[in-house]
Chain A
Amino acid sequence: MLRVQSDPFDPGSELSAFAQGRTDIGAVVSFTGVVRNTDGALEAMEIEHYPGMTERAIGRIMDEAHNRWNLSDVLVIHRHGPLKPGEVIMMVATASAHRAAAFAAADFLMDYLKSRAPFWKKETRSHGENWVAAKDEDEAALDRWT
């Protein structure tokens, strides 16, 4: 399941509801992305996205995860709009019969969401605004899966 939304969400309750009541699942792995403020200067973050392409791109990445691993279910929730430090940006959860597939698929989904889902982060800091630059290592991380 995929949700792209501006509203906040509770990753704990989403995870509880994910894959609930199924007995074919032996492993659930989840990742939650949070707005960090390690230097204390971040005041706000704005996430811009490309409506339509966002859903298509993430949907394709989820399909690819299903093709590569034997997954029972996949959940991606990604927010856009204004966020404050400490707020949840997004979450990924994967469910499988065994943990290896669930871990690998969650790792794969995160690598691709970072560099292939059309989101752009803008930070407002005490000294001004800046667009977060993509990191070379994030692009290089995709090579692990080819």
Chain B
Amino acid sequence: MMDVLYFAWLRERIGLPKERVETEAATVADLVEELKVREERYAMAFADTSSIRVALDQELADFSAPLAGVREVAFFPPMTGG
């Protein structure tokens, strides 16, 4: 089990900020594929992963990163701070 968080337009498209996900996904990319087949709103939100960033336990990571031991996965668009 892990917490999956969504921010900005990803949160709006999926319709929730956070959920508990039961998964055996080995990598972030595998998790995205699992989410995409769940429902159309996930497929729409994750249609273009080049415009999505991911953080594992609050550290930026790649989509190829392993999920073993990770408690919190966050998906969001490129950041616009400052």
Which residues of A come within 8 Å of B, CB atoms? 33, 48, 50, 52-53, 56-57, 78, 89-90, 110, 113-122, 131-134, 139
Contact = CB atoms under 8 A, between A and B. Distances in A.
Contacts of A52: 58
A57 B61 CA distance: 13
Given A117-B79, A119-B79, A133-B77, 5 more contacts: A48-B8, A57-B60, A114-B80, A119-B82, A134-B78
A120 B82 contact: no
13 contacts: A50-B58, A52-B58, A53-B59, A56-B59, A116-B81, A117-B82, A118-B7, A118-B76, A120-B80, A121-B80, A131-B9, A132-B80, A134-B77
A138 B58 CA distance: 22
Contacts of A56: 58-59
B23 to A, nearest CB: 21
Contact of B55 (A78, A118, A120, A132): A118
Interface residues of B, number: 17
Contacts of A120: 7-8, 76-77, 79-80
Nearest to B9: A131
B74 interface: yes
B79 A115 contact: yes
Given A118-B7, A122-B8, A134 B55 contact: no
A131 B8 contact: yes
B5 interface: yes
